[in-house]
Amino acid sequence: MFDLLLSGFVTLFVIIDPLGLVPLFLALTPEMNEKERQRTALRACLIAFAILTVFALFGLGILRTLGITLGAFRVAGGLFLFWIAFELVFEKRNERKQRSANKAVDDPEAADVAAFPMAIPLIAGPGAISAVILLSGSLPSLGGQAALVGVIFTALTVSFAFLALAHRVDRFLGVTGRAVISRLLGVLLAALAVQFVADGAAELIRTSQQGATALS
């Protein structure tokens, strides 16, 4: 279980991409002082934690209600995560996140940047939601579900730390440092995404074979 939880943490950390969020967070909070930024970052992470926890605990039930098998969702989710990895490696994801941030700045009604766009969709976006549902399927026991919530909490705590120290992190890493780290994390996420697809395809084949055997 430890290896799976570690893989889950790495997956969530890469998808949330707190290093990539730092310049966007600074752009969204230009008139705030450090304490106000910390409060905003805390609220954003708490909202994201609530969203991801709900999907981690009840996402599989929603899939079953819709008649979607876990194998099919693993294949679809793995492909989706691979696309996110592609965006990270070729620096396309920050452009998309920047558009969401600009939309929030330009919208006079979007005053609470902690909820939008920070919590949704920059932190608890479709990629992170897909990841927690995939991990939930691999940890069906009560202890596994509790451990998964712990992984979500840990990933968001680390993200909060980066956002709370956004000015210092931005000065320390710079544009080049963030680009190098994002590319490396993108390659790692691509490998994890391929594993999700492989596991899902194997489960679909196994289910298909069991169905054929039952019919015969």
Q: Whole-angstrom Cα distance, residue 21 to residue 113? A: 13
DSSP string, 108-154: TT---TIIIIIIIIIIS-HHHHHHHHHHHHH--SHHHHHHHHHHHHH
Residue 1: strand, helix, or coil: coil
- What's the pLDDT score for residue 159? 96
Name the pTM for this structure: 0.82
Of 199, 138, 119, 156, the closest CA to residue 110 belongs to 119
Could you report the per-residue pLDDT of 36-69, keeping only the tens digit for each? Answer: 999 999 999 999 999 999 999 999 999 989 898 8
Q: Dihedral angle at the C-alpha atoms of 7, 139, 55, 37, nearest 10 degrees?
A: -40
pLDDT at 156 over 90: yes
Give residue 2's pLDDT band: very low, low, confident or very high (50, 70, 90).
confident
| Confidence at residue 192, expressed as pLDDT on a 0 to 100 scale | 86
| Phi then psi dihedrals of residue 38, to 5 deg | -65, -40
Please write the tens of the pLDDT for every residue from 27-44.
Answer: 888 888 989 999 999 999
6-15, 26-35, 143-152: which range is least confident on average?
26-35
The percent of the chain in helix, strand and coil, each rounded to the nearest 5, is: 85, 0, 15
182 and 13 Cβ atoms separated by less than 8 Å? no
Q: Give the pLDDT confidence score for residue 79 in this predicted structure.
A: 92
Model confidence pLDDT, tens digit, residues 88-98: 888 776 666 66
> For residues 71 and 64, what is the distance between their CA atoms, to the nearest angstrom?
12
Tokens of residue 189, six digits: 């996420």
Compute the distance between CA of residue 197 and CA of residue 81 in angstroms, rounded to an integer. Answer: 10
Q: What is the pLDDT of residue 110?
A: 46
**For the chain, what is the radius of gyration of the CA atoms?**
18
